Structure 1
């Protein structure tokens, strides 16, 4: 008779059977692993420790030389599953990714690919091939790489798909590409600058030859006109009564001869101005008075459809030039403007003071310093690029033969150069033309040698620096101390006024525009000028110049600079102000 087993014994037997089944499964997996190792299908074994760490053991097989080669190459090498799981990689790839080798194997390659390159990786995994990707190393380094993927041959009935890949770091290649691109850019700029220089040289040589020819013709023409005018004067003086008795016909004839001779002399003067041989008599000129007077003349001579407007704030500094030549130049420019507006329009005569710093001055071919910027603008047809490029060539004109000589703009250009100034033409077809003249202020042009020592052998010049930011005050103090300026600092308007009231040796005031919560720099300038009406002032602004700031700079005669301002720029502007005081 069979005896029944206790319930506990039945449970223990079931547990033993399950354990036997687990051990049999592990044994089967171990045997498969050993078979794979013997067949050379396993590259490495990753063993986990009790502390959670992992160690990688690389196996030596018959293809060991190839494995050594893979480990020694500088490119990354990796074996992937179809899903992108890293089954093997060499140490070069782990080094590239800044990750220990054991943390790479078993990870997804996509984990190391930048978000924007994930789609490219997916396409490569699906089709194999070659493509550029961006990897993200463990420390955040961005690595441009080229990934070359190929399928590994496997048994047809295995159903598996394996990929091998070579990962080439493109960082150095891209750096060399950038260097090459920058070098090419520099070369292109140098070639362009050389071509511009050669073009300017060619133009200068052509202008010199034309100038010599024009000067000679004008000289001879002037002599002939002088003889005619002198003869007419003697004729009127000696035989005036007799000529008067002959009737109006003779008087009109003589008047026509005189007018023709005078017009010829005027043409000769224009030729001499173009040739830069006419002697200019420079004098101080009030630009407001000059433009106002010319507006009245032009308003009555340009025609009923032309309106003439002056844009010049009161209190502008005087400029230094030959008045007659300047008036002739502006009138010629206004006539050109009228001819460009056959249906009528507006001619604007403008003036404003301007400081040309070295870089701006070099671009214009003048010395750095204080200038008056004059302009004549119209709302006419404008010029295309081809016409604009030849606008200042002598005898070049786009007008009909009976309406232009082609000397107006070339004469203006010659007058500007002879007056130590510059000329620029801006024009847009259909929108009009602006001709700008820079002429020296009457106080003179900055001598570059005067920058480093503001006050010669005397006491150091003293500047009051006002800024609510201590770092900015220190910067200005260091900049100015380097060139022997004595700096007095103030943090706001109250401290600045106290310094001005207690120290009458302040030569220049430099103030920031915005100094919250107190009054701004414009307020300080006006209050300081009540104490010292002729105190030179520089206003610094960290934002775009507002219209009221530009208007105040013109009306109250101070220099407006935008932050950040370089030490060189600051000292050069200060030197300009000091030259103006001398």
Structure 2
């Protein structure tokens, strides 16, 4: 077998490359003889195979075309002669030729330095048809819009909706009367104006991403709100629908906007109704907890009543302790119920988290069995978040007690505080905005949970505990608190590998954070009075008796008023009164807030403290007006009462 020369190998390689070009290709020398070509030329123009050889004269290709009618009817020889003479000029040329079968071929010839030329052939049939179709579509749509504009305006002006059409830019090309008036324009003035100029720069910056997506060919829906001249908010729900050609080009965007204000109000009312329905179910779940608390109180009180004067001090303290804990637990349950029904934080504050976790550690140390090792890993001292500190403490205690139940054989319980930066996928997975967050993680080495359980842990009323040992509300309350605080919760667990629950809270400006005083179990640390006279206003006799005793224990003298009218007279006639402690909700025409303001105007020197058993006492005030006095929530903790009295009297 004869070996192939290197030169031939290179020629073959070049020919193989040319055959893969997606256009036809030919090279003719100065004598108009074929030098090189590719397979695409023959496939595109259907030349007979006999011409595919070096040395074939251009005239032979022209003759094939002329004889099969490529150049139209007439003198074949004349047509060939004219084309050969034109080729001998070796000038750059470009033309498009429509073949009898409708195929459009773009021919582009470039002369070579020493004579001859290189020619490329491209099938542009689809491109030209697409272009013609687009031009025709635009023309038809323009004509149709002009013909139907009057009819369209008549219809759209009577539809209770805002309707418009935006062309690329975006620029308004059409708007019905309602749309134009909504933005303070007329039907005539809005046409031709850029969208930012019509809707306003601020609103356009908000909706611009939606408009951009619509011009990319996507149907988009979104909501926005504006303020009416009278100060009320109005909500609009808009839908953008791209106006597209059959080949996928976007000519413009149709705009449909509906007033969603009433819908929003109805939706809010429905959500409140559903929340109150859930509160009804929640009350049933809490009944068990309250019955247990009342059992503790009743049992210890009966025991004390039977053995009055016979109990050693240490036994008395041991019996009183669970009663105090039960009352505090009852107060917490009530606050959680109210928070759940209102769907908002009770007392948000900017709090340094390290001090709060120290409080939780103090509470847990005496509540966990010795078989469980509690570890606290503190983060930066200045790390803070805006939260309700009581709810966060309760949430962490809930998580710790759940971990305790999972550590029946003992093990490690770890509470870790740290700062983290969320971005990209991590923030999206938690449905949080990118940024800095405080992360509090409660992890244990307990039994863990399977995937089905893990996915349901935050559902209200879901519990894996036996009947009577849990209401299934603990983790749902944790979740509700964290989300209300602008954060998120995540659970990682597997059977036999323990559980890790992480709470993410937005980190805030640390310079504004306040130190949270650590919990004290010593009842003797409260600031004491020096015999100052306190006017107590409370219509419930039993509550008044308890509060009066608390005040006396703190070193104050007490004067009791049963009504607001009685308190007004006493405050006016007795200058010895240094402070008033009044309930907010009382029978009669005057509530505690009104009473406090009346006394303050007459006695600006008198310290005033309010108290309430209602979480929604703020609804008694005028809109957006601060009450202006410290408010204590019932049941009142001795430490809170003592400190508030000291602050009020020293102000």
**TM-score under structure 1 length normalisation:** 0.38
- Greater length-normalized contact order (CA 8 Å, ≥ 6 residues apart): 1
Structure number having the greater helix percentage: 1
**TM-score under structure 2 length normalisation:** 0.34
